[in-house]
């Protein structure tokens, strides 16, 4: 069995572990040239780096595992083998990204981003130009109540928040509701827009989610609402978001994802005091690699036994 590894975050020790666990011939493709060179020989790809030239020649590849959750870019490429199975890293990002969400909310609540700006200028100013807030008793909407959303709800439960979750298939969360008061379908989302003190967005990119949180919906949020987006930047049209902040439809926004990425240097969002931007890195903790490899090894065992992986198989129809 020939396994092409293109995940650049893996080191030599990781590659030796993969070789020992799988007993496969490991082919390293950390550059596009290497990946294209070996892709035609690969039976399986463990791909962080994925390109159209690589997939085009991967005609013998039966399965590809990506350590990341978002797969819209991979699905849009040309596949040399259209029957190849794709699995993703769903389930690896819940704890790490949810901690980032809580951190971003607390930063807004206590003006930590503004205090840091003052620190850089050596300014001692106890009275910041925003009111200090508490999470106590707040209503938090979670748009995309999957792995990340459920972990956000779990962490916010300790702050006595009322959490309402929204997802495409709410019936699949019977055993996952946990710390959310209720889980609704996306078709119910508009009914609750006026109730959110905070709105956390953790949706994948699909035809149904692109532009979903547009100006008409942003304008119906409470003026004190904080929006946190850790899903995909395409969810919120950038011009609508800028208008919402300039006209004070909402109090602030925290973005770990933007549209486009990277955000152009002349975009107004960079300099707005009610915006916190992180460069799509909320999932990068030491646990990411550990969790992703665990999924891969479990999938590998099933692939060797049955010819197909079983964890996180991506639906081309749904896009995740």
**Which tokens sit at 250?**
């909402």
CB 314 within 8 A of CB 299: no
Known catalytic residue at 113: no
Q: Which of 116, 188, 261, 302 is catalytic?
A: 261
Is residue 61 a contact partner of residue 21, using CB atoms and an 8 Å limit?
no
Among 113, 133, 232, 291, the active-site one is 232
Alpha helices per DSSP H over 230-273: 238-246
Instruction: From the candidates 90, 155, 280, 291, give the one annotated as an active-site residue.
Output: 280
Our CA dihedral for 9, 68, 196, 186, rounded to 10 degrees, sits at 170
3-state DSSP assignment of residue 307: coil
Decide if 6 contacts 35 (C-beta within 8 A).
Answer: yes
Count of Cβ atoms closer than 10 Å to residue 230 Cβ: 26
Three-class DSSP category at 181: coil
Query: Distance (Å, rounded) from C-alpha 251 to C-alpha 246?
Result: 10
> Burial letters for 128-146: b for 16+ Cβ neighbours within 10 Å, e otherwise?
bebeebebeebbbbbbbbb
Say how far residue 195 (Cα) sits from the centre of its chain.
24
Task: For residue 280, indicate whether it is catalytic.
Answer: yes
Rounded to whole angstroms, how far apart are CA atoms 11 and 31?
Answer: 14
Angstrom distance (rounded) from CA 66 to CA 83: 16
Residues taking part in catalysis? 232, 261, 280
């Amino acid at each position: 069995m020939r396994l092409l590894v293109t995940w650049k975050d893996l080191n030599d020790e990781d590659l030796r572990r993969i070789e020992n666990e799988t007993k496969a011939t490991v082919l390293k493709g950390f550059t596009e040239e290497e990946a294209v060179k070996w892709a035609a020989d690969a039976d399986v790809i463990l791909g962080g780096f994925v390109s159209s030239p690589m997939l085009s020649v991967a005609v013998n590849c039966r399965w590809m595992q990506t350590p990341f959750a978002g797969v819209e870019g991979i699905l849009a490429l040309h596949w040399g083998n259209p029957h190849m199975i794709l699995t993703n890293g769903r389930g690896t990002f819940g704890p790490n990204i949810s901690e980032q969400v809580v951190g971003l909310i607390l930063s807004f609540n206590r003006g930590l981003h503004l205090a840091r700006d003052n620190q850089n200028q050596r300014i001692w100013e106890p009275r910041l130009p925003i009111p200090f807030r508490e999470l106590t008793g707040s209503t938090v909407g979670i748009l995309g109540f999957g792995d990340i959303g459920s972990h956000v709800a779990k962490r916010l439960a300790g702050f006595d928040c009322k959490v309402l979750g929204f997802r495409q298939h709410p019936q699949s969360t019977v055993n996952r509701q946990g710390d959310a008061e209720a889980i609704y379908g996306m078709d119910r989302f508009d009914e609750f827009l006026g109730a959110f003190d905070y709105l956390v967005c953790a949706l994948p990119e699909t035809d149904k989610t692109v532009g979903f949180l547009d100006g008409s919906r942003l304008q119906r949020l409470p003026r004190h609402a904080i929006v946190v987006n850790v899903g995909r930047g395409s969810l919120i049209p950038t011009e609508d978001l800028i208008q919402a902040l300039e006209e004070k439809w909402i109090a602030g926004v925290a973005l770990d994802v933007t549209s486009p990425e990277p955000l152009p240097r002349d975009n107004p969002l960079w300099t707005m005091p009610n915006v916190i931007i992180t460069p799509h890195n909320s999932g990068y903790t030491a646990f990411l690699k550990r969790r992703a490899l665990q999924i891969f090894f479990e999938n590998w065992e099933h692939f060797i036994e049955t010819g197909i992986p079983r964890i996180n198989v991506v639906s081309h129809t749904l896009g995740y």
